[in-house]
Amino acid sequence: MKPLVVHVAQVEITEASGMGRVAWHWRREFERRGYEFIHIGTQEVGPLQHASLFPYAAYREYTKLKRPASLFLIHEPASGTFARRVQPTIVVSHGIERRRWQLALEGRNGSTARVKLRSRLLHPLWRLRQCDSGLRSAARLLLVNQDDANFVQHRYRRSPDEIFVYKNGVYPSQLNEDNQPTGQLRVLFLGAWLEGKGYRTMIEAARILDEKGMRIDWLLAGTRADAKTVLGSWPSSLHHLVENVSDFGQESEENLFARSNIFVLPSFCEGQPLSLLQAMESGRCCITTDSCGQRELIRHNDNGLLHQPGDAIELASLIELCAANRKLRSSLGRNAKRSTHGRTWETVASEVVDFLETRV
């Protein structure tokens, strides 16, 4: 019988989503090495009255297998239940929840709404308690950036030897820095239409640039929101410059980058953004925030540009600089593509499995 890997996360394993794409490639590598890989997610446990019940429902699903697993890969919000009952449990984080919660409480997560008292009281109990328990007691931790690793070492007293900062991969494309559309400059934003993604910063930057007489097209993709919702956030005077693509398949991704001159990701906090990595691989000129996983991918003035989260004036200035200087755009795009060399999904998934096979 093949050794069993049990993967638990409230996602569907598919190349069409961020977390799902990471798990898809990890599963593929485990299966290539002769493991059986069983995923327990939202569909597997069925409808629940509250998300807090998922870890316990997922554990019940595991017990129905009636066979021991060689390894448990558990997403952070479900990890406490498993780490207390079975080993070796490996906590997988796509961004430390406790750290993001602190940013929310401090008003540094991009949201204009204050955290409600009910959430302040209940969220730590039903969600963060699972995360804290798993991060303290799991055999190993798979974390998505060094900032998270430093946070975990300090807060949970975990040794660096117990932590692996994994890489996300890219799909090779035929694009490079020379493949840029001509005519009016087009800026691409690729991400869900959430305040934490920094869309308000981007819109304010667009307004500043428009007041300067700069005409820029804005391509917004993967927003998961209809045009009415997206355009409702923009000044009406800019609506004719905005194109919203609420959803798209992987086969359309390369075309989105090909249609753009500049890629922006003004997020307040990211784990290790797949959209940014793929933009870099496509040779786009990338502008993002000096925070979290973004600054681990982008070296300012080398393979991209960084600005402070929430600083629309700085973002507008960087876009203006790149708009006026094609040579700069090409140089940043060329170096960005070079930075992703060798970072295929096959390679990065192999690194994860190598770590787990040698350390667990």
* Domain residue spans of the chain: 4-169+344-359, 186-339
What is residue 111's predicted lDDT score, i.e. its pLDDT?
A: 85
pLDDT in tens, 183-210: 899 999 999 999 999 999 999 999 999 9
* Mean pLDDT across 289-311: 96
Q: Do the domains spanning 4-169+344-359 and 186-339 agree at the CATH topology level?
A: yes
Q: Topology of domain 4-169+344-359, per CATH?
A: Rossmann fold (3.40.50)
Sign of the CA dihedral running 218, 219, 222, 224? positive
Q: Is the pLDDT of residue 110 over 90?
A: no
Which residues partner with 288 through β-bridges? 265, 306
What is residue 18's predicted lDDT score, i.e. its pLDDT?
A: 85
Q: What confidence tier does 147 reach under pLDDT thresholds 50, 70, 90?
A: very high
What does pTM read for this prediction? 0.95
Whether the Cβ atoms of residue 316 and residue 295 lie closer than 8 Å to each other: no
DSSP, collapsed to helix, strand or coil, labels residue 90 as: strand
pLDDT in tens, 259-298: 999 999 999 999 999 999 999 999 999 999 999 899 999 9
Task: Return phi, psi of residue 174, to 5°.
Answer: -90, 0
CATH number of 186-339: 3.40.50.2000
Q: What confidence tier does 230 reach under pLDDT thresholds 50, 70, 90?
A: very high
What is residue 281's predicted lDDT score, i.e. its pLDDT?
A: 98
Q: Can you give the length of the chain in residues? A: 360
Residue found under tokens 């780490």:
83
Q: Is the pLDDT of residue 250 over 90?
A: no
Q: What confidence tier does 20 reach under pLDDT thresholds 50, 70, 90?
A: very high
Radius of gyration of the chain (CA): 21
Q: Is the pLDDT of residue 128 over 90?
A: yes
